[in-house]
C-alpha cells in the first residue's frame, strides 16, 4: 500500500479561504486592515522570488502591504532606523525582514530590533521564550513549525502519546517544532526525540517514530528502512539538486527518499508541495493574529 500524500498546496488553499474570511471580519467589525511590511535588502534571486510570493498572498487577502526594497549597500544603522519607523507605525502589524542579509549587516541585531509585538516570523527571542512557556504565553509561532503542526493535525494524525522524532536542531525549524510537539494541548502531547549530526544510530531513532519530521538539509538522508510502517513523514528539506532548462526552475528534492518512503509510510508530504506552501500561509495567519492583538486595550 502506498502512503497518503499530505498536500500543503491543498491545505494552503483551504487556510487562505479561512484567513480571507477573518480579514473580512476584522475589517467590518473593527475597521482594521492587517498591515504587513516586507523588507528586502538587495536582489538575491531566491529572496526576490520568496518576497514576491509573500506580497502576492498578502494582497490576495486584502492586507495593507508595503513592499520596502532597499539597496544591497544600505548600512546596518539605516536598516535599524527603518525597522524602528515600522515599529512605531500603527498601520503595520507585521514586519518581515527577508533573510539572508548582506554580510556587512548583523542579522541577529536586525531581527532583535523588530518589536516582539510585530515579529510575525516568530524569530525574536521573546517570542521563542513565550513558545517555550506554551499555552496562553504563546504570541507568534515561527511559520514553518506552525505549518508542520497544521499539516499533522489536519491530516488526522494523532499526536497525543505519539513518538515524534525530529531530525535537525535549527532555531527556525528543529528546536521549535520539537518543543511544540511536546507541549500540552492540540497537536502536542507527544513524546519527542530531537536528533542531529552528533547523534549515534540516527536510523534506529527514526524507526521508532510514529511521526518523523526531517529538517536536516541533506537530500535523500532518510532511507525507506528508517521509516516505521504506517508512520506520518514530514519532509522539511528543500534541496536544489539540479536545474530544469525547459522550465528555467531549480529541481527540488527533500531530505527523504520520497519514492521509496511512500511504499512504507502511512502519510507523507511531497517536496515541493508539502511544507513549503504552509510557511507563507502561517505568516499571513500571524499577521492577522497581530492585528487582533493590537486591537486589545
Residues placed in the known binding site for NADP(+): 168-170, 238
Query: Would you call 121 a catalytic residue per the annotation?
Result: yes
Asked whether 96 and 111 are in contact (CB, 8 A), the reply is no
* Grid cell locating 94: 507585521
119 binds ligand GUN (CB under 6 A): no
| Region 136-155 residues binding ligand GUN, contact defined as CB under 6 A | 143
3-class DSSP assignment, residue 20 = helix
Q: In this complex, which beta carbon is closest to ligand GUN, that of residue 97 or of residue 152?
A: 97
Q: How far apart are CA 11 and CA 268, in angstroms?
A: 14
Using an 8 Å Cβ cutoff, are 235 and 269 in contact? Answer: yes
**Could you tell me where the DSSP H helices lie in the chain?**
8-30, 45-60, 76-87, 107-113, 125-133, 143-154, 174-182, 202-207, 258-261, 276-295
- Residue from the set 26, 33, 66, 99 that interacts with ligand GUN by CB under 6 A: 99
- Contact window for ligand GUN (CB under 6 A) among 91-99, 178-186, 193-201, 286-294: 91-99
Residues in region 275-294 near ligand GUN by CB under 6 A: 279
**Distance in Å, CB of 50 to ligand GUN, minimum:** 6
**Total chain residues near ligand GUN (CB under 6 A):** 8
- 54 catalytic per annotation: yes
Q: By C-alpha distance, which of 124, 100, 94, 98 is closest to 112?
A: 124
Of 96, 105, 214, 221, the one binding ligand GUN by CB under 6 A: 96
In the complex with ligand GUN, which residue's Cβ is closer, 124 or 228?
124
Identify the active-site residue in 119, 121, 210, 235: 121
Q: In the complex with ligand GUN, which residue's Cβ is closer, 98 or 183?
A: 98
Residue with cell 536545474: 243
Q: Which residues, 6 or more positions from 123, have their beta carbon under 8 angstroms from its beta carbon?
A: 111, 142, 171, 172
Is position 98 annotated as part of the catalytic site?
A: yes
Catalytic residue among 21, 56, 89, 98: 98
CA geometry: angle at 32 spanning 30 and 34, to 5°? Answer: 145
Which residue's CB is nearer to ligand GUN, number 54 or number 205?
54
Residues 25-64 that bind ligand GUN (CB under 6 A): 50
CB of 285 to ligand GUN, least distance (A): 13
CA angle 189, 190, 195 (to 5 degrees): 140
Question: Chain-centre distance of CA 219, in angstroms?
Answer: 19
Min dist. Cβ of residue 100 to ligand GUN (A):
7
Active site residues: 54, 98, 121
Interacting residue ranges for ligand GUN, rule: CB under 6 A = 50, 96-99, 121, 143, 279
Amino acid at each position: 500500500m502506498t502512503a497518503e500524500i499530505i498536500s500543503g498546496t491543498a491545505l494552503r488553499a483551504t487556510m487562505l479561504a479561512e484567513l480571507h474570511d477573518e480579514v473580512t471580519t476584522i475589517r467590518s467589525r473593527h475597521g482594521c486592515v492587517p498591515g504587513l511590511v516586507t523588507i528586502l535588502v538587495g536582489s538575491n534571486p531566491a529572496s526576490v522570488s520568496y518576497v514576491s510570493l509573500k506580497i502576492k498572498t498578502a494582497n490576495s487577502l486584502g492586507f495593507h502591504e508595503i513592499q520596502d526594497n532597499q539597496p544591497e549597500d544600505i548600512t546596518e544603522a539605516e536598516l535599524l532606523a527603518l525597522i524602528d519607523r515600522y515599529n512605531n507605525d500603527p498601520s503595520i502589524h507585521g514586519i518581515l525582514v527577508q533573510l539572508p542579509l548582506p554580510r556587512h549587516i548583523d542579522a541577529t541585531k536586525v531581527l532583535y530590533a523588530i518589536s516582539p509585538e510585530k515579529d510575525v516570523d516568530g524569530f525574536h527571542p521573546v517570542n521563542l521564550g513565550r513558545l517555550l512557556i506554551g499555552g496562553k504565553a504563546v504570541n507568534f509561532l515561527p511559520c514553518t513549525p506552525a505549518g508542520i503542526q497544521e499539516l499533522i493535525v489536519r491530516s488526522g494524525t494523532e499526536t497525543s502519546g505519539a513518538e515524534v522524532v525530529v531530525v535537525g536542531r535549527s532555531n527556525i525549524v528543529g528546536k521549535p517544532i520539537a518543543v511544540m510537539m511536546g507541549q500540552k494541548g492540540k497537536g502536542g502531547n507527544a513524546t519527542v526525540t530531537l536528533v542531529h549530526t552528533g547523534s549515534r544510530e540516527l536510523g534506529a531513532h527514526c524507526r521508532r517514530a510514529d511521526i518523523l519530521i526531517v529538517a536536516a538539509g541533506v537530500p535523500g538522508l532518510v532511507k525507506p528502512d528508517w521509516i516505521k510502517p504506517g508512520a506520518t513523514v514530514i519532509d522539511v528539506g528543500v534541496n536544489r539538486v539540479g536545474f530544469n532548462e525547459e522550465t528555467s526552475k531549480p529541481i527540488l528534492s527533500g531530505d527523504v527518499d520520497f519514492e521509496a518512503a511512500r511504499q512504507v509510510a502511512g502519510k507523507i508530504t511531497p517536496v515541493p508541495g508539502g511544507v513549503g506552501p504552509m510557511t507563507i500561509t502561517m505568516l499571513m495567519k500571524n499577521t492577522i493574529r497581530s492585528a487582533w492583538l493590537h486591537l486589545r486595550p
